[in-house]
């Protein structure tokens, strides 16, 4: 087995939990209708638990777009 291709670690910067959660946050008037048009989801919150490599999440507490609680 060639171990050189294994992921040694993951660094994520100012990530969000999902595109849907960001729509809810940034465009609350659209939130109820997002299911009609949303085609990209990026369900980060569902995928992060499957990462087995060391994980480093970097976030900005004063980020104006991605809320800090999305990185918790």
For the segment 17-57, what is each residue's pLDDT rounded down to a tens digit?
999 999 898 999 988 999 998 898 889 889 988 999 999 99
pTM: predicted TM-score of the whole model, two decimal places: 0.69
Our count of domains for the chain comes to: 1
Structure-model confidence comparison of residues 69 and 39, the more confident one: 39
Query: Token match 């040694």: residue?
Result: 8
The length of the chain is 72
| Beta-ladder partners of 55 | 10
Distance CA 4, CA 30 (A): 45
CA angle 40, 63, 33 (to 5 degrees): 35
25 lies in which domain range? 3-71
Phi-psi region of 12 (alpha: psi -120 to 50; beta: other; left: phi over 0): beta
Q: Over 60: is that where the pLDDT of 13 sits? A: yes
């Amino acid at each position: 087995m060639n171990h050189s291709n294994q992921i040694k670690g993951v660094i994520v910067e100012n990530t969000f939990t999902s595109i849907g959660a960001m729509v809810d946050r940034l465009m609350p008037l659209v939130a109820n209708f997002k299911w009609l048009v949303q085609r990209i989801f990026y369900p980060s919150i569902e995928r992060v638990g499957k990462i087995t490599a060391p994980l480093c999440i970097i976030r900005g507490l004063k980020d104006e777009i991605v809320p800090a609680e999305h990185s918790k």
